A and B are shown apart, each in its own frame.
Chain A
Amino acid sequence: MGIAKKGAGVVVIGAAAALVLSACGGGSSSSSSSGGSEAKAGGTLYYLANAEQFDQIDPQRIYTGEDLAFFSGTIYRTLTSYKFSADPTEGTSVVPDLATDTGTATNGAKTWAFTIRDGATFQDGNPITCADVAYGVSRTFATDVITGGPTYAISMLDIPDDPAGGSAYKGPYVGTGQELFDKAVTCSSDNKTITFNLKRPVPDFNYTTTLLAFSPVPKAADTGEKYGDAPVASGPYMIQENKNGKGGKMVLVRNPKWDKASDDYRPALPDSWEVDYGIDPKVIDQRLIKSAGVDATAIDLTVEPENLSVVYVNPNEAQPQFAGRAVSALDPYVRYFAINTKKVPNLKIRQAIAVALDREALRKNAGGDFSGDYADGVIKPNMGADYAPTGMWDTLLGQKIPDAGDPEYAKKLISESGEAAPTITFDYPQSPTADKAAAIVVSSLGKAGITAKPNPIEPGQYYGIVFDPEKAHELINAGWGPDWPNASTIIPELFTPSGGFNLSQYDNAEYTAASDAAKIETDRAKQAKMWQDLNTQAMKDVVVVPTRFGRTQRLAGTQVNQSQVYLWPAYGSWPYGAMSAN
């Protein structure tokens, strides 16, 4: 789930918060879950958003952590889901949801089967069947209509590629290659058990199935492009109204057809949810700090820098009056600068850039220790086994590099590179804070004789531009978090040509091969080691310059039940499905 998506706020006030706002992820929750009274049913929870709309409401198209967490907790059910828990390991463990269990893998993890629970129905009362799930999955293949969503189904399901590009199956609308899909995804005679036949072993496929891309869609109700306008709910809530833009809101009310008996995953305590769009970040802060009236049961996604000292003593401790309702925790994101290896092929130069960069100033500008810890790779410590220190700043670059950078050494590297000191352009989504970061990049690289030109891009267009090989420049600001706690959703995505987030345009055959091998490694421990090495390898090759393991701060109102006020490791989001009002 890239920071790629999620709408930026109004440039005037919102932009400053755009990046932070889209932050979401896993990690240990600190100043939270300090008891709090017993969870009670009823009431309304308010989600105060700066964004003016959800990027996507169509289940197959949702790909932002926060949104996945929100919608899977409220209106959509998937075969499997993550346990609601603040604990890093528990909180990222898979539990059955629409399926009776977490799936059974056979054929060396190349075949996965799930059985759908009895009594699970759509909001129109029709029972949810295997066919509905299969149909939902099939929509992913209509890449011209169902855009923006994860494409694991395409890359994993056992369907040949189309020589002309993409999959041989073109999705349910065109219908081309339907038979291939029906071979790959089969339903039992009672239409209850769904079987996925995969290209390659996917040991953690039941993690993949937590994605809403694998949630059921009744074929009859599918309106393709516009399905998101009136989706059919399978979860405890359904959309009563949704008006985008400033002053707009989405209201979720109870889905009368949802049967508690068929769903022991979601407590679904509140009577309704209200998402208020397009509120100014300063306003959100003020309202949650005051926490008056309906704001007592409100939640937000970020705390503005100016209020950090109001709410927190330090990144790990909230001010007394906010204890229990202020969260400050590592999010799942790694913030980094991708180096376009096509435009900067010379390793020494890439090293010089990494060496010269003043990461200390950058971190300070982002909010100091509130903004996270120095990163040494693209895999975060809270990824568990997959993480191991890469030693990027100690050994990989030839010597120890201070956080503030080492211009002299950078100069030396450049002279060794046999090239003149380069002139590079730095792409970043514009906001006052990002502008200051750009200033830091320019001057710190300048100290090493590297001429850097800032290239601010409107946040809303940012990824549209930097993904375009013609338009992307040498240095690209980015952030990435895993789709589930396995580096298989990081390394291949970021560093292989087939990856969806390969901003570095890194194409190293050997590396790609190793990555592919790691993907299909069924021994988790072995796999973890492989990811660790690939992570280190990428850093050694300076494909990216990791700057921060991101940290996020957010607030909940005084009347939000505090036993669920924590950052859910699964998505680094609120545990929406579990939250309730006192």
Chain B
Amino acid sequence: MAITESVAKAAPVAGRSLRQVVWSRVRHDKVAMTCLVILILLYLIAIFAPLICKVIGVDPYAFDGASISDSGGAPIGDWGGISRAHPLGVEWGTGRDILAQLLFGLRISLLIATSATIITVFLGTVIGIVSGYAGGRTDAVIGRSMDLILAFPFLLIILALSGVLTQRLSSLGVPEGNPSRILYMILVLSVFGWPYLARIVRGQVLSMREREYVEAAIAMGARTPRILFREILPNLWAPILVYATLTLPTYIATEAALSFLGIGVLPPDTSFGAMLANSVSYFSVVPSYLFIPGVVLVVLVVTFNLVGDAVRDALDPRSGRV
């Protein structure tokens, strides 16, 4: 969705001292701080997922035939066979541990969303600055290509091209299988994501070009790259930060949606989306298949959004609470 507006609004002219102001504002926002802590925890959990699984004694790949019925393959016990051995129950038909799958899913989800965000921000910033500063034909060309990209039904394109492009990646030397698939996800998300940020940045740059310090720099005969990245970039971090913090959660959701539609990681690995897709066949009997990954996913996204909001408000009190 056209997140641009809200972010553009949220982007005040960044003064040097703003950094501290923002931090202090965020620090005084209890909700934001709680979320920040949760996020850090989530990242730690993701990073140390294998270790944690060992400690709890669960394994996302181990098939536990004993935990499922021999006829129909339904998990034995309520709520998907929740037991001491399987705190969140087991998968229908295979007896794989749900908790372990969640932890590893979190890992993949965060990996994709985070890297995609980083790339998006990089692309958006650089292209935005260039197009805003260079103006003229460059600007026009970039503008057109943005229109082009934004006009694509990106979900459809991503789905349609996943197969072939993943193969291309492997043929380009990326290890076959999940590495290529994950990379594909990261790339497509970034490719369809950068224009929004680029537009914002471009706008900022346009307004900034006329500013004294830039003109001064030009007058002093500074070289363009220097002006771009020494004078202008430092003053863009505010909108960029806001955009990044609000984009990450949308990427998490999108990634889930994509793997729900079946272009996620390959088995035996799994992800939130895949788990939810799998739950469809069983949830009228085993609702927990639906609730557990779903709730985790929502919590993840909400937490990110809360932090994003806090940052935005900190940067732009007008948009936030008085």
Are A and B in contact, CB atoms below 8 Å, in the complex?
yes
Residues of A within 8 A of B (CB): 11-13, 15-16, 282, 304-309, 314-315, 358, 360-361, 364-370, 404, 430, 432-433, 435-436, 438-440, 442-443, 453-454, 456-458
Are A369 and B284 interface neighbours, CB within 8 A?
no
Which stretch in B91-99, B111-119, B232-240 binds the other chain?
B91-99
B266: Cβ under 8 A from any A Cβ: yes
10 contacts between A and B (CB under 8 A): A15-B262, A305-B73, A306-B283, A306-B286, A309-B72, A364-B73, A367-B71, A404-B65, A436-B93, A436-B267
Bound Cα distance A565, B51 (Å): 55
Q: Which residue of A lies closest to B95 (CB)?
A: A364
Question: Looking at the complex, which of B121-129, B198-206, B272-280 is the stretch in contact with chain A?
Answer: B272-280
Task: Say whether, besides A364-B65, A443-B63, A432 and B72 are in contact (CB < 8 Å).
Answer: no
In the complex, the answer to whether A432 meets B278 with C-beta atoms within 8 Å is yes
B70 within 8 A of A: yes
Partner of A305, one of B93, B176, B267: B93
- Quote the shortest CB–CB distance from B64 to chain A (angstroms): 10
Does B282 count as interface, using CB distance less than 8 angstroms? yes
Contact across chains for B280 and A361 when beta carbons are under 8 A apart: no
Query: From residue B108, how far is it (CB to closest CB) to chain A in Å?
Result: 15
Evaluate contact between A367 and B262: CB separation under 8 angstroms: no
Q: Does B192 sit within 8 A of A, measured CB to CB?
A: no
Q: Given A430-B262, A436-B267, are A368 and B274 also a contact pair (CB < 8 Å)?
A: no
Decide: A16 near B281, CB < 8 A? Known: A369-B71, A435-B267, A439-B268: yes
The answer to whether B267 and A369 have CB atoms under 8 Å apart is no
Contact B280 A456 (CB under 8 A): no
Contact present for A364 and B177 (CB under 8 Å)? no
Contact of A304 among B63, B267, B277, B281 (CB under 8 A): B281
B93 touches A433 (CB 8 A): yes
**What is the CA–CA distance of A440 and B70 in the complex, to the nearest angstrom?**
16
Residues on A with C-beta less than 8 A from B71 are 308, 314-315, 367-370
Q: Assuming the A-B contacts A12-B261, A13-B280, A453-B177, are A439 and B267 also in contact, with contact meaning beta carbons closer than 8 angstroms in the complex?
A: yes
Q: Which of B69, B176, B278, B281 contacts A453 (CB 8 A)?
A: B176
B197 on interface, CB distance cutoff 8 Å: no
Q: Contact at A361–B65, with CB atoms within 8 Å?
A: yes
The residues of A that contact B70 with a CB separation of less than 8 Å are: 364, 368-369
Per the 8 Å Cβ criterion, residues 25-81 of B in contact with A are 61, 63, 65, 68-74
A117 CB to nearest chain B CB (Å): 48
Asked if B268 and A442 sit within 8 Å, CB to CB, the answer is yes
Whether B94 and A440, one on each chain, are in contact in the complex, defined by CB atoms closer than 8 angstroms, is yes
B285 within 8 A of A: yes
- In the complex, what residue of chain B is closest to A423 when comparing beta carbons? B176
18 additional contacts (CB under 8 A) given A15-B262, A358-B63, A454-B267? A11-B261, A11-B262, A12-B277, A305-B92, A305-B93, A305-B281, A315-B71, A361-B63, A361-B65, A366-B93, A367-B71, A367-B73, A367-B93, A435-B267, A436-B267, A438-B268, A442-B267, A456-B266
Known contacts A436-B267, A439-B61, A439-B94; decide if A368 and B284 are in contact (CB<8 Å): no
Contact: A305 with B280, CB < 8 Å?
Answer: no
Q: Which residues of A contact B154 (CB under 8 A)?
A: none
A526–chain B nearest beta-carbon distance, Å: 40
A309 touches B266 (CB 8 A): no
Minimum CB–CB distance for B232 against chain A, Å:
45
- Chain B residues whose C-beta falls within 8 Å of the C-beta of A305 in the assembled complex: 72-74, 92-93, 281-282
Chain B interface secondary structure, helix, strand, loop or mixed? loop
Cα A358 to Cα B65 with chains together (Å) = 11
Assuming A309-B74, A369-B70, is B284 touching A282 (CB within 8 A)?
yes
Which residues of the other chain, B, contact A438 by a CB distance below 8 angstroms?
A: 266-268
A368 and B73: CB pair below 8 A? yes
* A432 with B94, Cβ < 8 A, contacts A369-B70, A454-B266 known: no
Q: Which residues of B contact A433 (CB under 8 A)?
A: 93, 281
- B283 to chain A: closest CB distance in Å? 8
Q: Which chain B positions have C-beta within 8 A of A12?
A: 260-262, 277, 280
Interface centre among A12, A305, A370 (most CB of B within 10 A): A305
Given contacts A364-B65, A364-B93, A436-B267, contact A370 B72 (CB under 8 A): yes
**A residues near B262, Cβ cutoff 8 Å:** 11-12, 15, 430, 456
- Minimum CB–CB distance from B203 to chain A (whole Å) comes to 38
**B residues less than 8 Å from A454 (CB atoms):** 177, 266-267
Is the beta-carbon distance between B94 and A361 smaller than 8 angstroms? yes
Whether the pair B278, A436 counts as a contact (CB closer than 8 A) is yes
The 3 closest A-B pairs by CB, nearest first: A439-B268, A439-B267, A365-B93
* Partner-A contacts on B (CB < 8 A): 61, 63, 65, 68-74, 91-94, 96, 163, 176-177, 260-262, 266-268, 274, 277-278, 280-286
For the complex, what is the distance from the CA of A442 to the CA of B72, rounded to whole Å? 22
* Residues in chain B near residue A432, CB distance under 8 A: 274, 277-278, 280-281
Q: Of B61, B65, B177, which is within 8 A of A360 by CB? A: B65
CB distance from A479 to the nearest CB of B (A): 18
Pick from A13, A364, A366, A458 the residue with the most CB of B within 10 Å. A364
Complex Cα distance A370/B283, Å? 19
For residue B286, which residues in chain A have a CB less than 8 angstroms away from its CB? 306
In Å, the complex CA distance between A432 and B268 comes to 11
Task: Write out the residue numbers on chain A whose beta carbons fall within 8 Å of the beta carbon of B94.
Answer: 361, 364-365, 436, 439-440
Known: A309-B74, A364-B70. A436 touches B260 (CB 8 A): no
Q: In the complex, what distance in Å separates the CA atom of A13 from the CA atom of B74?
A: 19
Q: Complex: how many Å from CA A442 to CA B282? A: 24
Q: How far is the CB of A575 from chain B (nearest CB, A)?
A: 27
Cross-chain contact B281 with A306 (CB below 8 angstroms) = yes
Nearest-neighbour CB distance to chain A for B289, whole angstroms, equals: 10
In the assembled complex, the CB of A303 is this many whole angstroms from the nearest CB of chain B, namely 10
Smallest Cβ-Cβ distance to B277: which chain A residue: A432
- Name A457's closest neighbour in chain B (CB-CB): B163
Which residues from B are CB-within-8-Å of A453?
A: 176-177, 266
In the bound complex, CA of A305 to CA of B278 (Å):
12
On chain B, the residues within 8 Å of A309 by CB distance are: 72, 74, 285
Most buried by B among A369, A432, A433, A454: A432
Which chain A residue lies CB-closest to B284? A306
Nearest A-chain residue to B268, judged by Cβ: A439
**Nearest-CB distance from A9 to chain B (Å)?**
12
Report whether A443 and B93 are in contact in the complex, using a CB–CB cutoff of 8 Å.
no
CB distance from A317 to the nearest CB of B (A): 11
In the assembled complex, how far is the CB of residue A465 from the closest CB belonging to chain B, in whole angstroms?
A: 9
Chain A residues with Cβ under 8 A from B177's Cβ?
Answer: 453-454
Closest chain-B Cβ to A214's Cβ sits at a distance in Å of: 39
Minimum CB–CB distance for B69 against chain A, Å: 7
CA distance A11 to B259 in the complex (A): 11
Residue numbers in B under 8 Å from A430 (CB-CB): 262
Closest Cβ of chain A: how far from B106's Cβ, in Å? 18
**A309 to B73 Cα, complex, angstroms:** 10
CB-CB nearest in chain B for A17: B281
In angstroms, Cα B269 to Cα A438, docked, is: 10
Q: In chain A, what residue has the closest Cβ to B260?
A: A12
Report the bound CA distance from A16 to B283 in whole Å.
13
CA distance A314 to B69 in the complex (A): 12
Q: Which residue of B lies closest to A435 (CB)?
A: B267
Closest to B61 in A: A443
With A and B bound together, what is the CA distance between A454 and B61 in angstroms?
Answer: 14
Residue of B nearest to A314 (CB): B71
Which residues does chain A contribute within 8 Å of B280, judged by CB atoms?
A: 12-13, 16, 282, 432
Q: Which chain B residues lie closer than 8 Å to A404 at the CB level? A: 65
Complex contacts, A314 vs chain B, CB 8 Å: 71
Give the distance in Å from the alpha carbon of A369 to the alpha carbon of B274 in the complex: 26
